[in-house]
Structure 1
């Protein structure tokens, strides 16, 4: 019997139209806009100024604190300004603007396709190299990888868990990455194991990717301690706590981190980026991004430079369909609607979903019928209908007591609600307000 997590979950239509589309190397943009805040934590601090000439892989901003990440140029050319631009969240964020001239890379980056298996670096040296490469979690949360790999002295890691679930409908970037770069991923997993000093790793893959499961099992057989775990299809299995439950049958307590049950979770794309950073001296300045939708002429998976305008990738798939109703950064469950297509891609850009008018239209919200479907669907065991009422009434103190900070914003509640209530919207609002309250309290103390 296939494993899965034990609480809640839903089954949206998969719509993996770009599955088995080979990764295409996207054209280098004429202008790149590279955000300084592409990660959870403090924004990076620029180390370049207007007029500076940079190469592909040049450090352009250093980490702004312990929980932060370095940022590198994805192009070669001249820095024209450091200014603000609207990002995928819809807010203006600081960024470095570069006019592209050619495609000259830093000399120390190994651009050959040769696989390098052996890594003689110590755990500490690996973590340092990962930090200097600006690697973050590529599953969407964008938590700086080096922080995850350095748990507090009181915590002990037992294993690495690789998130290769890709449970969001439409998205196929991780699936195709496994099919084309299984060996590099496996070396990356080995390096992550060495970094946290464990001898076990589990790679969780949902069973709607049988070809990836078969290939990854075959490749893993040549690496000690790495096990591929086929999982039952269930959303949101890509959530850290849900994946740990599915793979290890351990539950992470409210407010606790995965390390509390001995797990360090990393995305499969992150494992590939770790391989490239440690073995090839390549910073994180490009990633695989899925461009898809029911009306898109050619749904595709692109290896795209960070800072490429999303408009350019959409054009490469045949342009915006005439019946476009909404453009989503990410997948339909957790993604956010874009205000325009000039938004630059970032480290956390897993996909661009173009929804048609019929799909994009929200049904009219009606009164809650007390059916409890949202409670049954919530993978965190929360009561979304109650949380939404509290948010609507501004009772954020009660929301904190009802564990709103445990919400992973997966959208399962809203997806399953027959009254079409905007439950996720209210939960996001309440979580943001309660988070601000907590930070304010901590600052005073």
Structure 2
């Protein structure tokens, strides 16, 4: 029998440590060659680590949420016979290779001692629901008599058995509960009581928390909101989709988002301070000529921001395809590292749940984030071509923008949104070359 110690590999990109997200195997499990053992997360993405040998997992380096330095042991596999020489050489090379450090990074934590006989460590802390002790008669200390079924029903209904009077022999029955319900309307609470639970903040949720905290701590936010009439824009969108279907074209169905992105890209050249990134340490603002648009996407694991590269060079249908592709990749975990970084401006939308107005948090180190809100229908005064003012039902949507006040002045943010509003309310200007 021999033991193979697998070191944390050098993932590159200046990474000096990674976080344990989920153990796919627990100590004592058999592991086959090329079988996944643990998921590790860097600042960029989640990386699965596989075993290069077949054997039994006998030790691991920590629990979910712990950090492991590059080159440090991450798990130990006990194998039959000797460990293949090429596997040993590869492990030694990984452990010996110094982690690149292109820029100053925090010192990694000390390597964690390998733990033998520890469970999988990948699940959140679990709590078992406990039932409260049987209630006593108010003021008397006498125990309430009732069967377990009656107690369970009373607990589900939110009824304190101490307040229920039994009809006979001092024991509360279902009929007594029915009578209490009939004569005590409004007795129950608004909802059911749930057991407390503790969820460890790890992996992507931890990264989101750190990024949001850093953004709010370092960036003086301000938010500007404007109302836009999107009646004509919605009509244009519907016409484009109808034309596509009539001609049998293999083009994606357009949502509002590609039209909004196109309008943003058309407005940005006159407002370069919006499409920018701010390096806090170097005190340098970079105004970008290309629009690499971050698209805040909700996934089962939390908020991820895939990036539409060179959005300004794509037409409506190319944008629609890219939006769908990136959103799917973010949700199923196949998005590449380069597709999740390098954005110069972010758009975030909750669609029908968007609310009247939002105050989105900037995706640092960008200096602005745009949030289209829910479309609502309301009566509006509209002046017709004949100069007569009349009331019409119109579709309205608020556009929110949060900006870094160190870089963007309030006037500039307002002027940009007004330019965006002008484009949105005259869709022909969006489609014009």
TM-score (norm 1): 0.19
Say which one has the larger Rg.
Answer: 2
